[in-house]
Amino acid sequence: MGHSGDNPTATAERFSPPPTNSSGQRRRKKQKVISTDTEIRIRVQTLKPELTRTFSSYTHRHTSSYVRSQERSRKKSRSGRSHSQRKWTYSARDVSNYNDRVVIVSYNILGDENATKHPELYRGVSPKYLDWEYRKKLLCEEVKGYQASILCFQEVDHFDDLNEILGRVGFRGLYKARAGETRDGCAIFWRAELFTLLHEENIEFQRFGLRNNIAQFCVLKYYSSLHNLCIHVYFSATSGRSLIVGNIHVLYNPKRGDIKLGQMRIFLEKAYELSQEWGGVPVVITGDLNSLPQSAMYQFLASSKLHIQQHDRRHISGQIFPSKYAVSQSRGNHVTRPSLNRWTDEELMLATGSRLSSLRHHLKLCSAYAEVPGSSKVRDKIGEPLATSYHSLFTGTVDYIWHTLDLVPVKVLETLSMDSLKQTGGLPSKKWGSDHLAVVCELAFADEGD
C-alpha cells in the first residue's frame, strides 16, 4: 500500500506566507519533538508567496469557473443522475446562523495494485469494475457530485490521473507516497476558489518503528466571500479563516494494536501542535483508521484517553470479528472482551512513546456522523455508519471524519443500507468505484453563530 520509494510531495499551489510574530518578521518553521522518548523527524514545508501573481485576473477566472461548476452540479442533481441511493441527513441543531461552511470527503479509493493483487477480496466482482481506467472516472464523477470543498483520499497510487481530472474542475492537490515496496499513499485536494494552501507536513511512521504508513496535513486558508478573494489573497497571512486538515491510513494488521495506537498518537499530537502554532485554529481529522466504532481505538479518539492495559493488543481495532458479527455488534454497541494478553515493554513504547500504561491526546474531537441523528437502517447505536467497506472478507465501518469543537456538523451523507450493499454483489461495482464508501459531511465554523 504505497510507493516503493519515498517520492517527493506533489504540490500545485504555493503563494501564501506562514504566520508572523509580534515583531512582524516571518517566523521560521522548525521540526518539533512530540515525545520525550522519540525525536520526530517530519518533513516540513511552508509555502512562500508568489508576488508576481495577477490576483484580479486569477479571482475573476476561478470565481467564474466555480459558479459554472456549481450550476452544472445543480442541474445534474435535478436531472436524477446523481448518486440517488445516498441521502443527506441534516443536523437537529439550529445552524441557520452559520454561513461559512465546507464539505469534507474522506474516501479510501482502493489502490490499483491492491485491487489486482488481492482477488480473494473481490469474488463475484467483474474484472471490468476493478480496472483503474473504469474506476478513476467513476470515482471522480462521484466526488464532483458531492460539491466537495476538500477531498481526502487514501490508497492513492495514480495521483497524476486524479490531479489531471480534478484539476479541470478547480481542485489543487498534494500527495505523499508510502515508503517500502507498496505503492499507494494519501492525497488531499481542495478547491482553489475557496482555499489557499499555507503549510503542509507529512509523517513517515517508519521513522518511529511504526511500519511504512504515512499521514499528511494541510493548513488551508478559507475565504468566506468569493468576490472578495482578490483582497483576501493580498492579506492571506492575517485575514480569512484557517483550517487544519489531517489525512491518515492506519496500519491494517488487526493484531498489532500497539502500532495502530502509536500511529494515531503521533498523528493527533502533530495535529494539536499545528493547531497551536497557527493560533488555535479548527482541526479536521479524516481517514481509514482500520478500526471499528466499538473499538478501543475509537474510544481513544472520542474520550482523549485510553488505559491500554485494560485492552488486549490484538483487539484494539475490533477487526477480529467476522463480518456478520461485526455488524450485529455495531447495532448493539457492545463487544465481548476476550481474555487479556499482557503488553510487553516494547509494545508499550510503540503505543505510548513511554512505558506508561495510559495514553492521552489534547484535542477534543467529535465524530461528524455521530453528532447527526440517522436511521437504524444505515447507522449503529453510536451513530456511525453500519458499513463503509464491503467486500468478500469484511463488512464494517473503518472510515471517519472527526473535528474539533469549533466546527459544527450541518449535514452528513448517509452510506448504504446492508440490503443495498448486498444487492451490489460486492464492491467495487458498476456504480461504486471502490470497496469503500466515501464518508461526507458539511461542517460550519462555530464561532459565527455564537
pLDDT at site 168: 98
Could you tell me what percent of the chain has a pLDDT over 70? 73
Q: Report if residue 140 sits inside a domain.
A: yes
Amino acid at 91: S
Q: Which of 235, 248, 254, 276 is nearest to 363 (CA)?
A: 276
Q: Return the higher-pLDDT residue of 341 and 375.
A: 375
Q: At what angle do helices 296-303 and 257-277 cross, to 10 degrees?
A: 20
pLDDT at site 180: 84
pLDDT at site 448: 61
Lowest mean pLDDT among 42-51, 122-131, 404-413, 434-443: 42-51
| 266-297 confidence digits (pLDDT tens) | 999 999 999 999 999 999 999 999 999 999 99
Mean residue pLDDT across the chain: 82
Q: Report if residue 374 sits inside a domain.
A: yes
Half-sphere exposure of 380 (CA within 13 A, CB side): 20
- Tell me the C-alpha distance between 95 and 93, whole Å: 6
Distances in whole angstroms, Cα of residue 434 to Cα of each of 112, 142, 144, 289, 360: 10, 11, 15, 16, 34
Going by pLDDT thresholds of 50, 70 and 90, the confidence category of residue 240 is confident
Specify the CATH number for the domain of residue 283: 3.60.10.10
Cis peptide before 8 (omega within 30 of 0): no
- Tell me the C-alpha distance between 134 and 111, whole Å: 13
Q: Report if residue 137 sits inside a domain.
A: yes
In the block, residue with C-alpha cell 487514501? 154
pLDDT at site 183: 85
Q: Report if residue 8 sits inside a domain.
A: no
Q: Report if residue 18 sits inside a domain.
A: no
Distances in whole angstroms, Cα of residue 414 to Cα of each of 145, 147, 417, 419: 14, 15, 9, 14
| 99-138 confidence digits (pLDDT tens) | 999 999 999 999 999 999 999 999 999 999 999 999 999 9
In the block, residue with C-alpha cell 485575514? 239
Q: Report if residue 217 sits inside a domain.
A: yes
Number of domain units in the chain = 1
- 54: pLDDT strictly greater than 70: no
Cβ proximity of 198 and 220 under 8 Å = yes
Q: At what angle do helices 132-145 and 55-78 cross, to 10 degrees?
A: 100
- 79: pLDDT strictly greater than 90: no
- Report helix, strand or coil for 213: coil
Residue 138 — φ and ψ, nearest 5°? -65, -45
Q: Report if residue 27 sits inside a domain.
A: no
Q: Report if residue 89 sits inside a domain.
A: yes
Going by pLDDT thresholds of 50, 70 and 90, the confidence category of residue 356 is confident
- 170: pLDDT strictly greater than 80: yes
Burial of 45 (0-12, 13-18, 19+ CB in 10 A): middle
Q: Which of 199, 196, 238, 200 is nearest to 221 (CA)?
A: 196
- Tell me the C-alpha distance between 255 and 320, whole Å: 8
pLDDT at site 342: 85
Interval 74-87 mean pLDDT:
55
Q: Which of 11, 9, 39, 19 is nearest to 277 (CA)?
A: 19
Cα first-last separation, the chain: 44
CB neighbours of 436 closer than 8 A, spacing ≥ 6? 107, 108, 109, 110, 288, 388, 389, 398, 399, 427
Amino acid at 315: H
Task: Provide the residue range defining the domain that includes 381.
Answer: 43-76+83-449
